[in-house]
Structures are given as C-alpha cells and as structure tokens.
Structure 1
C-alpha cells in the first residue's frame, strides 16, 4: 500500500534533476523527491512501526445502509531515501490478519471466494512515483493482491515528526473486480472499496518508536 514523503510544506521546484538510479533491493522501485521537499534528516532507511500503523478498508454494503469496515493487523514496510532524493519503498500486508467487528464476516473474507488468504497470504505495494503539492502528495505505485498487480494512486499528507519519525496518512479507491473479487450475492456489495492508511516510520537504528517513547 504506499509509501511517500512530504518532507516540507514548500512547493516543489521546477526543472530539478533526478540523478542516477539508486541501487535497490529486489522487488523495490524508485521515485525521486523534489529538491524543495528534501531535508538532511530525511535521508536514510526508515522502517514501518507496525504497532502505530493501520490499513483499513470500507465498503458500502447494501447501498451504504450497512457499511462494512475492516482492517489488516499485521504490516511491514521499508523506505530508503538517498541523499540525492531518490526513494525506494515497499509496504507488505499480511492478509491472514484481516479483521472486522463481526467474526462471521472476518471468516468469510478469508475464504477462497474473497481474499483467499491460504493461497495469497500477503499483498504488497511498491512505490513508483511521487507528485508533491505543498504539504500533500499523490502516491503512485503497484498493488499486488490475489496474484494480480494493478496501478494505484493514493492521496496523502504527512511529513517528518522530529528527526526520527515520519508520518503519512492517505486514502485510495480500489475497484475490487480488478483484483478478481467478483463475489456479489444479490448485488449487495459495491464495486468500490475505500482504503485508508496511517503509516508511521521510524529511522533505522533509532530506539524511538513513538513521540512519547
């Protein structure tokens, strides 16, 4: 699901150079931060604080009269920011950790006709591009779920919270049929699913997990 960096409230400058490609680990992609959003504190490796991060989804079942809410309780992620502003990022969701307020709904979501968690126990978002607009940004990347990869865009806000914490909040609208989720008895389930993410990253090597730690 995403990963991006709004590291200042200044607008990006035009005509900035991207520089050479940054070495990356397998499965990661790169994007470039505009010069105006890059600060010395941003460079380095950032690891997802799963205890402080959430990935939630909402579907307006029965036309919105019975909205279905859920979340994934196990997450992992990594962001690498190079000194020249190039970024590699990846977030992984453990789909077996899906949970709702209704136990029967939770079990139903895990079945082969929906999230098929036994066959597809994880979903991954890999960053491709950042479009910065002052203190907000559009995050573009590839979401792989149920063995299908689709391009996804998230509208997000966030930034550095001191030298060792980075926070991001964003949302995206997913079309479930694009990932093979076509189960829809009596047409009760709409096509669109809203995804809400709140991600907290901690600078690698830091002992600090939250602002109050």
Structure 2
C-alpha cells in the first residue's frame, strides 16, 4: 500500500535553496564542552513522487566550507587528519527509501563522508509549505542524525592527560532545509 505524502506537499522536483538551508554539526571536545560548526550545502534535489515510496532525496555538502568560528580548527578539519577536503571535497546523501514512524518521517540512505559510505536513518520533520514573496513554492524539512565519526574513517585524536580523548566519537548532524519547487 502506498504511503501518502504529507499534507501540503505536492509531487514534483524541488531544489534545495542553499542560501536558506543549513547543515550543522556538534561534537564533544575534551569531554567537557561541545564544538559546533556548519558546512555549506552545495547542491540538492528532492524528487517528490505521488507517494513516499516514489520520493527520492539527493544532497551534497562542501567539506572545505567548514566553519567552527576558529580558522586554525577549520584548517585542521580540512586536513588529512580529518576530512581530506582537497581530495574528498564532497559529502553526499542519497536516499534509498522513506517511511513513517509515528509523526516523523525516516529517510534511509547512503551517507558518504571522507570517501566512506554508510547507510543511515535520518529522522525528518516536514515543516510545511509556503509561497515566498517572489512567487516560489517552498517546502521545509528538519532532520537530525547522530553518527560515529570513526565509522567514516575520521580517527584522528589525542589522548588527554586526565583520561579520555580530545575529540568525541559521536557527532550530531542537523539539517534545516528550504527547497524550491521547480514545477
């Protein structure tokens, strides 16, 4: 049986509006604080079918655009110690399927970071639709996922004198997406 689309969302192609969308992350630092940053969404398309089963999502993020508010840290994240941004500049997500879990939608797909691809489940909230002042039909989505950075080959770390490590393994990634209908 086909799962209906969320109320207000119509079938067609939507392009992610990078200037009104955000990809952010949070990781524990030294076990006592959190470092937050953003990465630019370089491109993305949501192809909405007649139902959830025929809907697909594809997005690309620019690893070299990392911004944590500290140029030295950003440079280290772009280096071979972490993201190899020169050699592997694109992070990508390609959906495999979309399902409903209570009030949330779950987009399952392949996430590629640092050249390593893993399947993740991305709990997603449909924020609704609106017509902007320029006549564009927009759809909004919010999603969060927690990943293990080690599973993506991001293993650089430093031991702390008091025990533990400088950089936590768990990374929370949050997406706030505004997409414009191309129909």
TM-score category of the 2 structures, normalised to the smaller one? 0.7 to 0.9
Instruction: Give secondary structure in 2 for the equivalent of 1:107.
Output: helix
1:114 maps to what in 2?
Answer: 82
Calculate the TM-score normalised by the size of structure 1. Answer: 0.75
Q: 2:144 aligns with which of 171, 182, 188?
A: 171
Partners of 2:145 and 2:8 lie apart in 1 by 30
Runs (4+) of structure 1 moved beyond 6 Å?
none
1:155 maps to what in 2?
Answer: 123
Cα deviation, 1:59-89, whole Å, max 9, x if unaligned, reads: 01111x2311111124310011223551122
Worse-matched range after superposition: 182-191 or 160-169: 160-169
Cα deviation, 1:23-66, whole Å, max 9, x if unaligned, reads: xxxxxxxxxxx12x356851111000101100001001111x23
Larger helix fraction of residues: 1
CA contact (8 A) 1:40 1:83 kept: no
Calculate the TM-score normalised by the size of structure 2. Answer: 0.87
* 1:136 matches 2:114: no
Q: Paired residues, what number? A: 172
RMSD of aligned Cα (Å): 1.8
Larger strand fraction of residues: 2
1:77 maps to what in 2?
Answer: 44
Partners of 2:8 and 2:173 lie apart in 1 by 31
Name structure 1 gaps, 5 residues minimum. 1-15, 18-33, 206-213
Would the alpha carbon gap of residues 135 and 120 (structure 1) be closer, same or farther in structure 2, given more than 3 Å must change? Answer: same
Partners of 1:50 and 1:73 lie apart in 2 by 7
Instruction: Give secondary structure in 2 for the equivalent of 1:196.
Output: strand
